[in-house]
Structure 1
Amino acid sequence: MQKLDLDAAVQRVTDYTLAHPYERDVWEKSPAITGILAWNDEAAVAKARHWVERAVDVQSSRGFLGYDERIELANGHAAVFTPTASLSTALGFNVLAYYERDGDPRFLDAARRQAEALLAGPRTRNGGFWVRKEGPELWIDFIYMMCPFLARLGRIEKKPALVDEAIRQIDVYVRHLVDPELHLARHAWRETPNAYLQSTFWCRGNGWLTCALVDTLEQIGVDHAGASRLKEVGQRAFAAIAAHQDRCGFFHNILDDENAKFEASGTLMFAYSAAKAVNQGWLDAAYIEKAQRAVHIVAGSIEPDGAIPGVQVPPGGPGVPFATTLYGQGFFIQAAAELRHHLA
C-alpha cells in the first residue's frame, strides 16, 4: 500500500464536509459531526457546533431535532418516508456530545425532549420502535440512530432504564434482521404483513449494525451487565462481514454479490467499527489490518476538493444511486480517528 498522509486526507475531507452543511438534514450530518469531534481539530469542532445549535433551534414542538418533514426517496424500497422520532435521535447523540464538552443546559434540555418523543412513539408487538409512520417497520439503520443516543443520555442522567432501552432495541432489531445462521443483517422488515421489504445483506446496513454496537458499548462500558450480548453479536457479525472483503480493501454494496459495485461508506463503517472494537478490547487485533486496507482504498478515491465518491444515497440497497454524502465524509473521519495510531 502507498503511504497515506492521514492528516492531509482528513483535513481535505473535513473542509469539504463543513462547506456542505445540507440545511434541511434530519440525520445525515450526525456521523460527520461525530467524526469531527473524534478528530478534535479545534476550529472544525467550533464550526460543527453551529450545526448542532441549528438542530436545537429548529427542534419541533413534537421534540424532533432538526427538520422532521416527509422525505421523498428515489429508487428505494420505500417511495416516501415520514419519520418517527427514531430518526432525529441521531442528532441527539451530537447534542449530548456538545453538552458534555461545554455544559450548555439548552442542549441537555433538547436531548431530553428528543428522548421523550422517541419513548412515546409507536412500537412493534415486541417493543421495537417503528421507523416510519407508514407502517410497523424495523430498518437496521435505526439501531445506530437510536441506541447510542439512549445509552449516552442514560449515562449522563444516571437513568439505567434508558440504557436498558438501548440494549432492548438492539436485541429486538437483531432478532428480526440478523440472519441466525449467516450472522449478517438484512435491511428492512415489516410486522404486518410479516415480510422483508428489502432483504439483501446490504453493506452499509451491516455497518450500521457494527457501528451501533461499538458506539453503544462506548457509552455503557464493555463490562456492563448487558455488554456481553452486544459483543457476541458483534464478534459474529465482524467475522461474517470480513469474509466478504475484496482483496483491494473495498466491500461490495451487496456484500455477497460480487457483481455489485464497491461502496465507500459501508467500507469505512467496517474500518471504523472494527478498529474501535479492537481498541475496546473485545475483537481480535487481526482486524486492524483489514480496517487499514479499507481506509487506504477509500482514501485513494478522495477528490481534490475533499469529496468522497462512491457512496450510495438513501435509502440504500440495490438499485440506488451513488454520490457524495455527509455520512460518507463522516465515517472516513471516524475511521481515521480510530486508526490514527495504527496508521502513524
Structure 2
Amino acid sequence: MAQADLVNFPAAADPKEVGYRIARRFIAGKHMLHAGKWISYPETFYWTGAINYAHLTGDVELMQAMKGRFSKLTASEPQLLPIKNHVDLNMFGSLPLRLYQLTKDKSYLDLGLPYADTQWELPDNVSQAEKDWAQKGYSWQTRLWIDDMYMITIVQTAAFKATGESKYLDRAAKEMVLYLDKLQRPNGLFYHAPDVPYYWGRGNGWMAAGMTELLHMLPEDHADRPRILKGYRRMMKSLKQQQRKSGMWNQLIDEADCWAETSGSAMFAYAIISGVKQGWLGAKQYGPVARRAWLALANYVDDQGAVSEICVGTNKKNDKQYYYDRPRHSGDYHGQAAYMWCVNALLEGKE
C-alpha cells in the first residue's frame, strides 16, 4: 500500500481521537484577538479546522457548536469581525467561505467574499509601495513576509472554491510565485524576512502549508503550477533532511541545540502528509517522515486537547537569541490549528 505509513496508528496517536479532543477544546475556548480588537488568524484557522473535522467525521454535535459560535459572533459580537485592511485580518474571510461551501447559506458568502476581494482593491490611504505592488498585479497587502503565503492563499483559494471564479486562484498563484522567487533560499527553506536571516519554524510552516493549500486547488495545466510544485518539493527535501530523530523540527530549523516546537512541526507534517497522499512526494521516501512526525506530535497533546511547546506569536527580529528565548505556551491557537490540519489530512479519504 503506497500510503501504509499514514494508517494504523497506535491508540495514543489515533488521528480521529486526537482530533476529537483538540476540536472540542475550541467549543468553550476564549477568543484569541488580534491587537485586542478582532478575531485573530490563529482563532480563524482553529475554528475552520474544527469545522473540517466535524464534516469529515460526521460529528453533527460539533458542527452545530461551530455554527452556533459563528452565529453568536455575527449577531452579538460584530465588533470582533476583522476590518479589511491587513493581510493578517483579511484571511478571516476563509472561515465564512468554508461555511458557505458546506451549507450554501448565502449569508456566509456575502460576509466572506469581500475579505478576498479587498486584498486586490486598492483603498484610498495607501503608500506608494502598496500602489506599486497593485500596479504589478499583486495584492496591495504584499510585504514579503513568509506568513503572508498562508494568509493570502487561504482566503483566495476559499473564494475560488466558493465561487468557481478562476481569478481568485490565479491571484494566489501569482503571489506565491513572487514569494518563492524572492524569498526561498538555496537550501529550500525561508528566512523569516529578507532582513532576518533565520529559519524560524512556524514562519516556514506558513509557507509550507500555503503551498500545500494551493497545490490542492491548482489544475495540472495551470501555468504557475510547475513553479510552485518545484518550490514545494525543494522545501520538503530540506525538511526531510532537517527532521530530528524524535520526529520533530526545532524552533530554528537548522539549529540542533534549539528546542522542538510543535506548531511549525505540525505545519510541516501537514504538508508532507498531503504530499504523500496526493502523489506530489514519493511515499517510500516521505511516508516514514510523515509517520515519525505525527507519532512525535501526538505526545504533546494532553487529555483536555491542549497542545504544549507552542511558540507564542512572534514578530521578526534580527537576533538569533530572540528565537531561542520565545515563550512556549500550551493551548495556544497557533498550534491547535496546525494540529487540526494534520488530523484532517490523515482522515481525508477514509470512510
State the match for 2:300 in structure 1.
Answer: 301
For residue 51 of structure 1, report the CA deviation from its aligned partner: 4.3
The structure where strand makes up a greater share of residues is 1
Q: Verify: 1:47 aligned to 2:46, yes or no.
A: no
Q: Distance in 2 between matches of 1:124 and 1:59?
A: 30
**Percent identity among equivalent residues?**
22
- Code of the aligned partner of 2:183: L
- Does the 8 Å CA contact 1:85/1:114 hold for their aligned counterparts? no
- Where do 5+ consecutive residues of structure 2 fail to align? 1-8, 34-38, 317-322
For residue 129 of structure 1, report the CA deviation from its aligned partner: 4.0
Q: Which moved more, 1:217-226 or 1:144-153?
A: 217-226
- Does the 8 Å CA contact 2:188/2:234 hold for their aligned counterparts? yes
Q: Distance in 1 between matches of 2:184 and 2:272?
A: 18
State the match for 1:267 in structure 2.
Answer: 265
- Code of the aligned partner of 1:335: C
Q: Distance in 2 between matches of 1:125 and 1:321?
A: 37
Cα distance per residue 1:122-180 (max 9 Å; x no partner): 5374555465xxxx73211111011132133134334322221111111122222211x
Superposition pairs of residues 216-255 of structure 1, within 5 angstroms: 216-255=214-253
- Code of the aligned partner of 2:167: A
For residue 117 of structure 1, report the CA deviation from its aligned partner: 2.2
- Where do 5+ consecutive residues of structure 1 fail to align? 69-82, 190-195
- Code of the aligned partner of 2:63: V
Cα separation, partners in 2 of 1:28 and 1:156, compared to 1, 3 Å: same
State the match for 2:309 in structure 1.
Answer: 310
Cα distance per residue 1:42-83 (max 9 Å; x no partner): 2222222244445656667xxxx8235xxxxxxxxxxxxxx8
Q: Verify: 1:160 aligned to 2:161, yes or no.
A: no
Q: Distance in 2 between matches of 1:38 and 1:221?
A: 22
State the match for 1:80 in structure 2.
Answer: none
State the match for 2:98 in structure 1.
Answer: 97
Cα distance per residue 1:194-227 (max 9 Å; x no partner): xx1x331111111111111111222334443322
- Does the 8 Å CA contact 1:275/1:291 hold for their aligned counterparts? yes
- Does the 8 Å CA contact 1:301/1:309 hold for their aligned counterparts? yes
Q: Distance in 1 between matches of 2:282 and 2:73?
A: 38
Q: Verify: 1:326 aligned to 2:348, yes or no.
A: no
- Does the 8 Å CA contact 2:100/2:162 hold for their aligned counterparts? no
Cα separation, partners in 2 of 1:301 and 1:23, compared to 1, 3 Å: closer
Q: Verify: 1:66 aligned to 2:81, yes or no.
A: yes
- Does the 8 Å CA contact 1:84/1:130 hold for their aligned counterparts? no
- Give the alignment partner of residue 9 of structure 1, picking from 18, 24, 28: 18
Superposition pairs of residues 83-94 of structure 1, within 5 angstroms: 84-94=85-95
- Code of the aligned partner of 1:12: R
**Cα-Cα RMSD:** 2.7
For residue 97 of structure 1, report the CA deviation from its aligned partner: 0.9
SS at match of 1:139: coil
Q: Which moved more, 1:49-58 or 1:31-40?
A: 49-58
SS at match of 1:188: coil
For residue 8 of structure 1, report the CA deviation from its aligned partner: 2.6
Task: Tell me the TM-score normalized by structure 1.
Answer: 0.82
- Does the 8 Å CA contact 2:262/2:335 hold for their aligned counterparts? yes
For residue 301 of structure 1, report the CA deviation from its aligned partner: 1.9
State the match for 1:37 in structure 2.
Answer: 51
Tell me the number of residue pairs that the alignment of Structure 1 and Structure 2 aligns: 314
SS at match of 2:144: strand
